[in-house]
Structure 1
Amino acid sequence: MTTDRIIRNILIVFILIANIGCDQISKRIVRDEIGEYETISLVKDHLTLTKVENTGAFLSVGSTLPDSIKFFLLSIVPLLALSFGIVYLLRRKNLTWVSSLALSFAIGGGIGNIYDRVVHGSVTDFLHINLGPLQTGIFNMADVSIMVGMLLFFVQSLINKKVITSRLR
């Protein structure tokens, strides 16, 4: 393995750990300091903290499934996918830095939420944005990491599409 590859993989692991760490630290503070369904306004009513324990996936999808099926679908399957993603990320030689960064954010966020689900039985969500017509569900820092990763992929694909389109002209 070359020195460049070793440095690249160390940076990837650092980004993964940073994403997981930020997520877990923020959730721990919320679990310790905010009561269930308590709402704290940070920026008027535009950004609030509201602690919710989500036993399902995105927007509580799957929360009413039987426990064994829920554990398999929301913990085991994603854990296998994320494990594959880590191996892919560390072994793949031709990934761009943007792709590596995007995958690191998405995988780090996914690990943060799976950790919660396995250790605590639910995922702690606490952030809510209300900008008039733009309103979010309640989410956490792992969700932010996942969305940043997806946004990076989207921007990279737009840039690549423009580059390819301009070369075809």
Structure 2
Amino acid sequence: MKGKWMPRFQRTYLMLLVLLSCVGCDQLSKTIAKSSLEKSPPISYLGETIRLQYAENSGAFLSLGSGFSKRTRTVLFTVLSGVLLVALVGYILYNQDIGRGHTFALSLILGGGVSNLLDRVFNDGKVIDFLNMGIGNLRTGIFNLADVVIMTGMALVVLLNLRLRRRRAAVEDFSDAGSETEFEDEA
């Protein structure tokens, strides 16, 4: 991920801005969902395409692992997630080769992960989910804004890496022998 160099304070600022925005929006949406949806039937919009439905998820994304023992879930989804999120903070702050695009994308993943981790810590190992999409019987699982933010960050990382790979291939095809070129993954 060789990118345009960003001073650490800029990476820190961008990371904190994205992190706090993601956590704030997700936690607010979960508070509203809990107060308005917890004891009510699902609410549908756009002909059942979007459904608001309260659920508490003890597993990972789309309830993966919800059948594990509580101890295993705690180790995997709270302790291990926390360690990985701390490692991600370190990667964002101390890797000088990542640029703005990757910093933003990784900060989205961090923000969603931290918000879901906060749920697990303060909600007995469970995450509040409330969004469901689909057409007829073809539906997603129930998810939350943090899940959307994590998936958006992951998609951005993939797209940025594909773009960087194409640029490198193009430069290799057209560069002079013996010349070195720096690759910038963001403008």
TM-score, length-scaled by structure 1? 0.90
User: Unaligned 5+ residue runs, structure 2?
Assistant: 1-5, 174-187
Tell me which of the two structures has the higher relative contact order, counting C-alpha pairs closer than 8 angstroms and 6 or more residues apart. 2
Q: Which residue of 1 aligns with 2:166?
A: 162
Separation in 2 of the partners of 1:120 and 1:39? Answer: 22
| Equivalent of 2:57 in 54, 57, 74 | 54
Aligned-residue Cα RMSD (Å) equals: 1.9
| Equivalent-residue separation in structure 1 for 2:138 and 2:162 (angstroms) | 24
**Where does 1:90-105 land on structure 2 (aligned, <5 Å)?**
90-105=93-108
Aligned to 1:17: 20
AA matched with 1:139? F
Structure that is richer in helix per residue = 1
Structure 1 unaligned blocks of 5 or more? none
- Is the 1:20–1:108 contact (alpha carbons within 8 Å) kept by the matching residues of 2? yes
Q: How does 1:17-166 map to 2 (within 5 A)?
A: 17-36=20-39, 38-121=41-124, 122-131=126-135, 135-166=139-170
> Match of 2:20, as an amino acid?
I
Given residue 79 of structure 1, which amino acid in structure 2 is its aligned partner? G
Q: Cα gap change, 1:36/1:91 in structure 2, threshold over 3 Å: closer, same or farther?
A: farther
Distance 1:77 1:9, change over 3 A: same
Verify the 8 A CA contact 2:12 2:93 in the aligned structure 1. Answer: yes
AA matched with 2:116? N
Q: Secondary structure at the match of 1:130?
A: strand
Quote the Cα distance in structure 1 between the aligned partners of 2:148 and 2:9: 28
- Inter-partner Cα distance in structure 2 for 1:93 and 1:43: 45
Question: Share of identical aligned residues, percent?
Answer: 34
* 1:45 CA drift (Å): 1.0
Number of matched pairs: 167
> What secondary structure does 1:20 align onto?
helix
Structure 2: how far apart are the matches of 1:54 and 1:133? Answer: 21
SS in 1 for 2:143: coil
Q: TM-score, normalised by structure 2?
A: 0.82
- Contact kept, 8 Å, 1:36 with 1:52, in 2: the verdict is no
Note the C-alpha offset of 1:13: 0.6
Residue 5 of structure 1: CA displacement?
A: 3.1
8 Å CA contact retained: 2:51, 2:132? yes
**1:58–1:8 CA distance, 2 compared to 1 (3 A):** closer
Range moving further from structure 2, 60-69 or 96-105: 60-69
Instruction: Give the 3 Å change call, closer, same or farther, for CA 69–153 of structure 1 in structure 2.
Output: same
Runs of 4+ in 1 over 6 A off after TM superposition: none
SS at match of 2:151: helix
